[in-house]
């Protein structure tokens, strides 16, 4: 009996973890461990280990490897297609279950990282009141297109600088206004017009920010030095530290302007884009979408009203 038991155990297929299935499918789809890792917000090593777990569970190789490249075998491609379908069915089932959870289920709101840190979180208490004190609000930091069903996201806040398809409802609540910002001690050298000199702070997430601002404002640039950062919030943090002059969207620097930590001696200009509240069509939770949109528009209008007063005080001070 013991031998029979061992034989039965040996032929049983070990089911890989869901994380391993996702890593395998993404690696086949991208043809790259690194690109799969970026999509899944994992390290390359974690994805490689997950793929090897898949191969160990099946008992044969799914990829041919040479140097740093991986190539899926024909069997792996067929399996990846089936895994993708299964994952999509699972996501749809989970989304359906979440929607059936009733009005007290958590509301998941995705938001661009810098907007989340510098505008939304300081106003989080008021947003929670708008959503309802008894309903949990979950915030997710992300940018670009929104995988609503795949990630279980209900609403999203984005700067609409990418194509938004007809399957997504997007309502604007704030026009983007940008201007150069710096510590007050640097402002006197800038003045209110003429060529901009000094140390210019750039960000890889908006590489054309200075060029666009110069075009919209009709201002020539003659930098004495330039510093570059990977993320927008780093360039703004550098401006807060007095390291130079950054391009700052009004929404992201409004609180610093109000406190006097930063100033905007050249004011702000509209760049033609808007921040929008997004949700998948058809709307499953119209009440929450309407409540959050009303709250966003109200607080955005209050911020812009303060900006008008700030601009008037600024003109008087120069």
Q: Three-state secondary structure along the chain?
A: CHHHHHHHHHHCCCCCCHHHHHHHHHHHHHCCHHHHHHHHCCCHHHHHHHHHHHHHHHCCCCEEEECCEEEECHHHHHHHHHHHHHHHHHHHHHHHHHHCCCCCCCEEEEECHHHHHHHHHHHHHHHHHHHCCCCCEEEEECCCCCCHHHHCCCEEEEECCCCCCCCEEEEEEEEEEEEEEECHHHHHHHCCCCCECCEEEEECCCCCHHHHHHHHHCCCECCCEEEEECCHHHHHHHHHCCCCEEEEEHHHHHHHHHHCCCECCCCCEEEEEEEEEEEECCCCCHHHHHHHHHHHHHHHHHHHHHHHHHHHHHHHHC
Kindly give the parts of the chain with pLDDT less than 50. 1-11, 312-318
This prediction has a pTM of 0.69
pLDDT at residue 50, rounded to an integer: 92
pLDDT at residue 6, rounded to an integer: 40
pLDDT at residue 314, rounded to an integer: 44
pLDDT at residue 98, rounded to an integer: 66
């Amino acid at each position: 009996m013991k031998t029979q038991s061992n034989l039965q155990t040996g032929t049983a297929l070990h089911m890989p973890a869901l994380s391993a299935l996702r890593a395998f499918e993404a690696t086949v789809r991208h043809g790259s461990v690194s690109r799969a890792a970026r999509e899944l917000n994992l390290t390359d090593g974690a994805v490689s280990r997950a793929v090897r777990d898949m191969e160990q569970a099946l008992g044969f190789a799914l990829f041919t490897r040479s140097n740093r490249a991986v190539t899926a075998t024909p069997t792996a491609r067929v399996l990846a297609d089936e895994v993708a379908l299964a994952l999509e069915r699972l996501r749809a089932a989970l989304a359906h279950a979440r929607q059936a959870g009733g009005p007290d289920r958590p509301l998941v709101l995705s938001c661009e990282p810098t907007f989340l840190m510098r505008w939304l979180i300081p106003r989080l208490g008021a947003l929670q009141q708008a959503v309802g004190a008894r309903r949990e609000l979950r915030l997710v930091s992300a940018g670009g297109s929104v995988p609503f069903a795949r990630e279980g996201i209900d609403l999203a806040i984005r700067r609409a600088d990418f194509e938004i398809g007809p399957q997504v409802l997007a309502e604007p609540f704030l026009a983007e206004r940008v201007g150069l910002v710096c510590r007050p001690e640097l402002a006197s050298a800038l003045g209110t017009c003429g060529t901009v000199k000094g140390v210019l702070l750039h960000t890889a997430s908006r590489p054309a920010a200075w060029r666009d601002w110069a075009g919209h404002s009709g201002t020539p640039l003659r930098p004495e030095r330039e510093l570059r950062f990977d993320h927008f919030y780093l360039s703004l943090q550098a401006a807060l530290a007095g390291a130079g002059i950054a391009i700052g969207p009004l929404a992201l620097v409004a609180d610093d302007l109000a406190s006097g930590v930063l100033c905007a001696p050249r004011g702000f200009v509209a760049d033609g884009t808007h921040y929008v509240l997004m949700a998948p069509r058809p709307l499953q939770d119209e009440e929450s979408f309407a409540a959050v949109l009303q709250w966003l528009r109200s607080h955005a209008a209050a911020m812009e009203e303060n900006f008008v007063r700030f601009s008037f005080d600024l003109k008087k001070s120069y």
